[in-house]
């Protein structure tokens, strides 16, 4: 039998009565500490509270999994992991492989840093969009950019987990993360990140020296956050009770602001840009053919559809807005083809 036990976010003292009870009868206890920091003293405390030996195993050992699975065929084995054990795909994979090999599995869930961080900030769980991990690899940045963009457009917050690998002594600090996010703006240009963007940095949540700080990126980028692990939250639209919570429950350097205010849907950007252009071209076209009444219907309809584009946008029907402005442009442009003039200049 393979038992996956979550250690939660409080170290050995976070183990539940149920977990301690289950571990009582198990001799083979493994601990993996590669996804989160765990000091030697923490391992010692774990041995003491369990009153038995535990084997600290490296990342490859869990990912490979063969030794654990071999042993679990005829023995009860427990693997202790930080947080809620099935958040990491490695542990799901191990469980599936065990069951496929006829090995019974059980899971004892535990406190996850994900729900704890969101709660500690006083943010509403149902306003959290897709969760992502930012790694130091430059390739990961564009998918982060579009995830945050999409979440903010829907008014949602984005929890950004920062790469942490104790084995390789590799972790991304929030200051570098903000630099990466600001740099991504130069390429993508949807106004997702600027030095004015409001964000939250949650550090060491669950530990004695937990720290949560919010503010604009320009303030946070110059703040020292100390030891990992860290996570960021890029907020979307903030409910007033969320703003209250940020002010009262965590350290807030700058006034919380609504990051969604500077962000527009692609369709919205198009309408803002193309409507005035089309209006100007239409006036120009009218002047160019002012003695010819055969175009009156075309001009009237163009005007009508330009207004429609604005109306559809207000009604949150961006696709119809874009269709309307495209149609108006088509009508106007026929004057160019028929009269050989350019009214767009």
Q: Which range of residues in 28-36, 101-109, 196-204, 251-259 is near a copy of itself by CB under 8 A?
A: 101-109
CB of 140 to a copy of itself, least distance (A): 12
Please give the residues from 109 up to 148 whose contact with a copy of itself meets the rule CB under 8 A.
109-112, 114-116, 118-120, 122, 124-133
CB of 84 to a copy of itself, least distance (A): 5
The β-bridge partners of 14 are none
Nearest residue (CB) to a copy of itself, 122 versus 174? 122
Q: Which range of residues in 32-40, 188-196, 280-288, 323-331 is near a copy of itself by CB under 8 A?
A: 323-331
Please give the residues from 13 up to 32 whose contact with a copy of itself meets the rule CB under 8 A.
13-18, 20-21
Nearest residue (CB) to a copy of itself, 72 versus 302? 302
Please give the residues from 209 up to 238 whose contact with a copy of itself meets the rule CB under 8 A.
none
Cis preceding linkage at 267, omega within 30:
no
**Dihedral sign from CA coordinates of 189, 194, 196, 197:** positive
Please give the residues from 163 up to 202 whose contact with a copy of itself meets the rule CB under 8 A.
none
Q: Which range of residues in 12-20, 28-36, 53-61, 217-225 is near a copy of itself by CB under 8 A?
A: 12-20
**Dihedral sign from CA coordinates of 117, 121, 122, 126:** negative
Nearest residue (CB) to a copy of itself, 30 versus 295? 295
Tokens representing residue 79 in the block? 């693997």
Phi-psi region of 65 (alpha: psi -120 to 50; beta: other; left: phi over 0): left
Beta-strand pair 2-6/105-108 = parallel
Nearest residue (CB) to a copy of itself, 128 versus 180? 128
Which of 61, 225, 327, 344 binds a copy of itself (CB under 8 A)? It is 327
Which of 241, 272, 283, 304 binds a copy of itself (CB under 8 A)? It is 241
Tokens representing residue 201 in the block? 């940095």
**Dihedral sign from CA coordinates of 133, 134, 140, 144:** positive
Listed residue (198, 292, 319) closest to 254, CA to CA: 198
Identify the three-state secondary structure at position 83: strand
Cis preceding linkage at 60, omega within 30:
no
Q: Is 330 in the site for a copy of itself (CB under 8 A)?
A: yes
CB of 169 to a copy of itself, least distance (A): 24
Q: Is 308 in the site for a copy of itself (CB under 8 A)?
A: no
Listed residue (102, 108, 103) closest to 79, CA to CA: 108
CB of 221 to a copy of itself, least distance (A): 25
Q: Which range of residues in 50-58, 64-72, 215-223, 262-270 is near a copy of itself by CB under 8 A?
A: 262-270
CA distances from 216 to 83, 196, 233, 326 (A): 29, 5, 12, 38
Nearest residue (CB) to a copy of itself, 38 versus 221? 38
Binding mask 266-285 for a copy of itself (x = CB under 8 A): xx--x---------------
107 backbone dihedrals φ, ψ, rounded to 5°: -130, 135
End-to-end CA, the chain: 76
Q: How many residues does the chain have?
A: 345
Which of 141, 306, 328, 343 binds a copy of itself (CB under 8 A)? It is 328
Please give the residues from 53 up to 72 whose contact with a copy of itself meets the rule CB under 8 A.
none
Nearest residue (CB) to a copy of itself, 87 versus 234? 87
The CA distance from 7 to 13, in Å, is 9
């Amino acid at each position: 039998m393979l038992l996956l036990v979550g250690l939660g976010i409080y170290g050995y003292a976070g183990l539940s009565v149920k977990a301690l009870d289950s571990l009582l009868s198990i001799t083979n206890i493994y601990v993996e500490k590669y996804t989160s920091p765990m000091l030697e003293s923490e391992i010692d405390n774990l041995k003491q509270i369990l009153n038995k030996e535990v084997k600290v195993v490296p990342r490859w050992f869990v990912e490979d999994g063969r030794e654990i699975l071999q042993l679990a065929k005829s023995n009860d084995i427990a693997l202790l992991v930080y947080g809620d054990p099935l958040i990491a795909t490695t542990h799901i994979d191990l469980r599936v492989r065990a069951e496929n090999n006829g090995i019974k599995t059980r899971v004892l869930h535990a406190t996850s840093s994900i729900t704890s961080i969101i709660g500690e900030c006083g943010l509403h769980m149902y306003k959290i969009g897709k969760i992502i991990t930012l790694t130091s690899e430059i390739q990961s940045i564009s998918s982060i950019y579009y995830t945050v963009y999409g979440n903010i457009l829907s008014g949602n917050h984005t929890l950004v987990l920062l790469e942490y690998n104790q084995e390789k002594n590799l972790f991304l600090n929030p200051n570098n993360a903000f630099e990466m996010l600001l740099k991504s703006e130069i390429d993508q240009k949807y106004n997702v990140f600027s030095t004015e963007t409001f964000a939250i940095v949650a550090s060491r949540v669950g530990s004695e020296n937990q720290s949560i700080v919010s503010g604009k990126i320009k303030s946070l980028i110059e703040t020292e956050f100390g030891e990992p692990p860290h996570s960021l939250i890029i907020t979307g639209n903030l409910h007033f009770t969320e703003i209250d919570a940020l002010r009262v429950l965590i350290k807030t350097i700058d006034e919380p602001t609504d990051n969604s205010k500077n962000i527009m849907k692609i369709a919205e950007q198009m309408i803002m840009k193309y409507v005035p252009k089309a209006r100007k071209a239409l006036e120009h076209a009218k002047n160019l053919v002012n003695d010819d009444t055969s175009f009156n219907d075309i001009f009237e309809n163009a005007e009508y559809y330009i207004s429609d584009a604005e109306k559809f946008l207000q009604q949150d029907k961006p696709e119809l807005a874009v269709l309307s402005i495209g149609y108006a442009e088509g009508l106007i442009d026929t004057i160019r083809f028929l009269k050989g003039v350019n009214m767009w200049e």
